[in-house]
Amino acid sequence: MSLMKEQEEEEQRKCKTQAHLYTIIKVAREEDLVDKIGKDIYFDLVDHDKVRSFRIQKQTPFTLFKEEVAREFGVPVHCQRFWLWAKRQNHTYRPLRPLTAQEEAQQVGQVREMRNKAYYKGQLKLFLEVVLGLDLVPVSPPEKTDEDILLFFKLYNPEKGELRYVGRLFAKIYHRPIEILPRLKEMAGFNQDEEIELFEEIKFEPSVMCEHLDKETSFRMSQIGDGDIICFQKADNEDGFRYPDVPSFLEYVHNRQATLTEFNTYFSNLEEIINVAESSLARGRLNASNKKCSLSTSETPTLEQVKKAKLSLKECLSDLFKLNVKDRLAEAVSTLSIAKSGLSQDQQKSVKAFWANFDEFTSDFLSFERDNVEFELQKLLKDQMFVTMKKNYETHILYKQLLGGLTEEEEELNKKLEAVKSRREKLISDWEILMVESEEAKSGYKDQEKKVAEAEEKKRIAEERMSRSTTAWSNLKSLFG
């Protein structure tokens, strides 16, 4: 397994180093349009990420590439006509024009349509036009003149709420749509006496634009050209359909996709926050600090009092400092600090120094305990917010799966469409509520991060102050402990 992995990695490295020598050619075919439109995509014609890709050396003659296409798709070289795709100003992708004979005589790396950027980021996107004869065998495509325009057609069924691709054809630019109606009805399987309505699919971002197409106005006057998409449907639709025409259906699909995109974008951001928080927790938790303390005095003690004070101090020093021994420690240290006898010179010096800073010593411990409690409290609140945020993200994943299931059910069970709609709207409502709750959790989490940082800073300062007292404590302990 490791050997195979190494070979794969070596192959990937090789591909990267040689990438500049190759061109990726993405070839979309009629079959891609039939398979994807109405299932994976609704707008435009094809998802270029899901079509057949060829990795071809740039110096390869385009004619040799056509031979590889012939082997791959079973379409003879003389039956192939390739169209360049162009990204329009309204952000749609449509076939622009066929490659010329001169362009096909060039090397693959030289075939590019600079003006319309068909060649983009090392990729050449093409549409393979194949014309089938009466026996459904590929034949040489007819010559295309400037008067011929290539149009693509989608059929909408309002009863099923279904849009599908039904074919393409050439029309004369000076003709009117009414002149191609017989062929459209044939594509759709309609009777020739069936009335149909036509719509031009113009764009879908940032909003849908799908306009009624006048059957009596020429294509030229309607500004219809190569690569344009015409959607059509029966004209005598019954009342009560959820989306009675093409524009309303495309608007519905667009809104559905926009909603899913919004949810995915929001929860992807939430996932990043969760991942950062989890990695932060994994780096380690803050260690609890040690706790220590001290206090007050009076007159010159007797030897008996000094003896008792030394014993009391020794017992206090036998363990870490606790605030509950503060008074006892203060009494012992204050007694010893004014003792005239019973102590060595070093012991007297140490006790006096410790007693002089006793209030600061105990204050350090009090501040530390208070700030440590505050820190733990804020940390607990932060952890609670994190748990809520993570739980909501997991719920988002569940909702996402549920939405996918409901969408499939919506497409398959058209008779139960209204019931599915109700459930879906409830899910979207819950999802929106979840997003609101998550936003509150995220906001609270960020606030807690700031509070934790402030508490941590207080704790750090308290630790630094305490360290000064620790030294005195250690000296005292070494002498009396």
Summarize pLDDT for 229-254 with one digit per residue, the tens.
999 999 876 667 888 899 999 999 88
Q: Could you read off the pLDDT of 319-364 as tens digits, one per residue?
A: 556 556 677 777 777 787 777 677 777 777 777 777 877 777 777 7
Higher pLDDT, residue 170 or 396: 170
Which of 16-25, 143-152, 438-447 is the most confident on average? 143-152
How does 250-282 read in b/e, with b if 16+ C-beta sit within 10 Å?
Answer: bbebbebeeebeebeebbeebeebbeebeeeee
Instruction: Over range 410-426, report the average pLDDT.
Output: 73
- Whether 197 has a pLDDT exceeding 90, the answer reads yes
Average pLDDT, the chain: 81
Write out the DSSP string of 392-411: HHHHHHHHHHHHHHHHHHHH
Q: Regarding predicted confidence, which is higher, 181 or 473?
A: 181
Residue 438 banded pLDDT, cuts 50, 70, 90: confident
Q: What pLDDT does residue 16 have? A: 61
Q: Which residue has the higher pLDDT, 50 or 381?
A: 50
**348 in helix, strand or coil?**
helix
Burial of residue 340, with CB atoms counted within 10 A of its CB: 0-12 exposed, 13-18 middle, 19 or more buried: exposed
Q: Is pLDDT of 7 > 70?
A: no
Separation between Cα atoms, residue 70 and residue 185, nearest integer Å: 32
pLDDT at 279: 65
Give the per-residue pLDDT at 171: 95
pLDDT of residue 114: 44
Tokens of 138: 């590929």
pLDDT digits (tens, 9 = 90+) for 277-308: 666 655 544 333 333 333 343 467 777 777 77
Please name the residue that has the structure tokens 């026996």.
Answer: 135
Q: Give backbone dihedrals phi and psi of 320, rounded to 5 degrees, phi first.
A: -65, 150
For the chain, domains (ranges, CATH) are 9-131 (3.10.20.90), 148-244 (3.10.20.90), 246-481 (no CATH)
Asked if 46 and 87 touch (Cβ cutoff 8 Å), the reply is no
Please tell me the distance from the alpha carbon of residue 43 to that of residue 369, in angstroms, as a whole number: 64
Question: Where does 169-236 have alpha helices with state H?
Answer: 181-188
Q: Give me the phi and psi of 138, to 5 degrees please.
A: -55, 140
Q: Is the pLDDT of residue 258 over 70?
A: yes
Going by pLDDT thresholds of 50, 70 and 90, the confidence category of residue 478 is confident
pLDDT tens digits for range 61-70: 999 999 999 9
User: Quick one: pLDDT at residue 291?
Assistant: 32
Above 50 in pLDDT, residue 73? yes
| pLDDT given for residue 292 in this prediction | 34
The closest of 98, 117, 99, 96 to 108, measured between CA atoms, is 99
Helix axes 417-480, 345-356, angle to 10 degrees: 140
